[in-house]
Amino acid sequence: MNQTVRRILIGLLVLSYVLLIAWAFQDVRVFTRVQIAHFLGWHSGAMPEETEEAIALRYFKPVSKIVPESENIPEYPAYPVFEFHGHLFPSYKKDLFEEMTKNHISMFVDLALLTTTLEKYDALRAGHQSPRLVIFPGLNYDRLDESGDPFQKMADDLEAIAKAHKIKGLKLWKDLGLYRKFDGKLIPIDDPRLKPVWDVCAKYHIVVAMHTADPPAFFDPTNAENERFQELARRPEWSFYGADFPSFKDLMQQRNNLFKRRRDITFVALHFGESANDLGAARKLLSENPNVYLDTAQRIDELGRHPRAARKFFLDFQDRILYGTDGPPDRTKDEIYWRFFETADEYFNYYPSHKPRKGLWRIDGLELPPAVLKKIYYQNALKLLNIPEAEFFRYMQKEK
């Protein structure tokens, strides 16, 4: 082989390596494809630089091209509802009972986490005297900064409210077990020192509505593999990844230990027990703990992603699931819940237009049978809180 041919071959080899390296870059591939397509007459001529691939997630709002054959957005729920997971935020200035009636909400549980003493309870009740509002107070963690036994003092505060008002429930938030501390150490959910609190709940038949942990994705790194990346990027304080926090698995175990230890108390594992994404875990939870219910608040976004499995779960455990949406009455939000439970609609948004999305997906409806809808919407809550059905319907009749 002469010198000239050898040089040509070496040059071609080097060029092939350069082209191979260049081809690894997507911009080069896109540019080349467009140029070839334009040369062959397959393309109108738009250049790659005119198409921006990298779009901030907050600006990425794709409009679906799915054209449904029918859409069934209920004007009202099929039956009046008992909102088991409500909140009256200080910023809420509307007339609660008027808004409840507009949305066919006969009764409403206010999970009043910051209502921790008898005085605070009296003040809240004074502003909302109708029995249509059921108030679940919270624990008085201010006692943790005092001398003596703070756990007994918290129990005493709860008992004072129970004696004065015959309360039906207690609200516990995710801070218990996750970051609530005493003497510099985390208080586990199954901490034996909380026994006085549980004893009060058992004595007065107080239902414990417990929010434990958060969606499992909140305990994973906020990176390209996290399907809730956009949500966590917007709210980084919701990330509990790392050694500073207990793991999701540990929190679930602590909670379940408590459920098993205190069979004399009825618990509601709020937000579908943080297992709306894992119905096998939800099934195990309810099967092993007859004293536990679930609510649906802020988890139809997960349930609607596997609607056939979710529908079967609702049919199997129709007596153990409570209707909840997490917040004050909100027509646009409530309509999505009604649509999810009542219709077979497919591929619709799980969030109202004035709320941010959690992830890039949509949901399908469950189309639950009427008998199951009644249980989810109100019958299970009435049975759990020992409220006569006649009273529940009387409130709606009075408002008409």
Q: What is the pLDDT of residues 145-201, one digit of tens each?
A: 999 999 999 999 999 999 999 999 999 999 999 999 999 999 999 999 999 999 999
Three-class DSSP category at 321: strand
Residue partners of 354: CB distance under 8 A and separation at least 6: 332
Give the pLDDT band (50/70/90) at residue 400: very low
Sheet with 292-295, side-by-side order of all strands: 169-172, 207-210, 267-269, 292-295, 321-322
Domain spanning 81-399: which superfamily? Metal-dependent hydrolases (3.20.20.140)
Q: What is the pLDDT of residues 34-73, one digit of tens each?
A: 677 666 666 555 555 555 667 787 888 888 898 988 889 9
Please report, rounded to a whole number, the percentage of residues in the chain having pLDDT higher than 90.
78
Cα(230)–Cα(234) distance, rounded to whole angstroms?
6
* CA-CA-CA-CA dihedral for 124, 127, 132, 137, to nearest 10: 0
Q: What is the pTM of this model?
A: 0.88
Q: Tell me, what's the pLDDT at 126?
A: 95
Q: Tell me, what's the pLDDT at 18?
A: 80
Question: Between residues 31 and 334, which one has the greater pLDDT?
Answer: 334
Mean pLDDT (whole number) for 352-376: 95
Please report, rounded to a whole number, the percentage of residues in the chain having pLDDT higher than 70.
93
Q: What are the structure tokens assigned to 48, written together?
A: 């790659």
CA atoms within 13 A on the CB side of 320: 23
DSSP symbols for 125-156? HHH--STTEEEEE---GGGGGSSS-HHHHHHH
By C-alpha distance, which of 34, 106, 109 is closest to 76? 106
* Mutual angle of helices 150-165 and 195-203, in 10-degree steps: 10
Give the pLDDT band (50/70/90) at residue 398: low
Q: What is the chain's mean pLDDT, rounded?
A: 92
Cα(246)–Cα(188) distance, rounded to whole angstroms?
10
Residue partners of 361: CB distance under 8 A and separation at least 6: 227, 301, 305
Domain ranges for the chain, please list them: 3-54, 81-399
Question: Which one-letter amino acid corresponds to residue 219?
Answer: F
Q: What is the pLDDT of residues 187-227, one digit of tens each?
A: 999 999 999 999 999 999 999 999 999 999 999 999 999 99
Residue with tokens 């070839």: 36
> Helical H runs in the chain?
3-23, 26-39, 96-102, 118-127, 150-165, 175-178, 195-203, 229-234, 248-261, 279-288, 300-303, 307-316, 331-342, 370-374, 380-385, 389-399
Residue 351 scores a pLDDT above 50: yes
Question: Which one-letter amino acid corresponds to residue 318?
Answer: Q
Q: Tell me, what's the pLDDT at 178?
A: 97
Q: How far is CA 150 from CA 105, 142, 194, 203, 205, in A?
A: 38, 9, 10, 20, 22
Helix (H) / strand (E) element for 269: namely strand 267-269
Cα(388)–Cα(107) distance, rounded to whole angstroms?
12
Question: Cα angle at 98 between 353 and 117, to 5 degrees?
Answer: 95
Residue partners of 75: CB distance under 8 A and separation at least 6: none
Residue 365 scores a pLDDT above 90: yes
Cα(77)–Cα(370) distance, rounded to whole angstroms?
11
Cα(366)–Cα(305) distance, rounded to whole angstroms?
11
Residue 33 scores a pLDDT above 60: yes
Residue with tokens 């009740």: 125
Mean pLDDT (whole number) for 106-121: 98
Q: Tell me, what's the pLDDT at 14?
A: 80
Cα(232)–Cα(223) distance, rounded to whole angstroms?
9
Residue partners of 280: CB distance under 8 A and separation at least 6: none
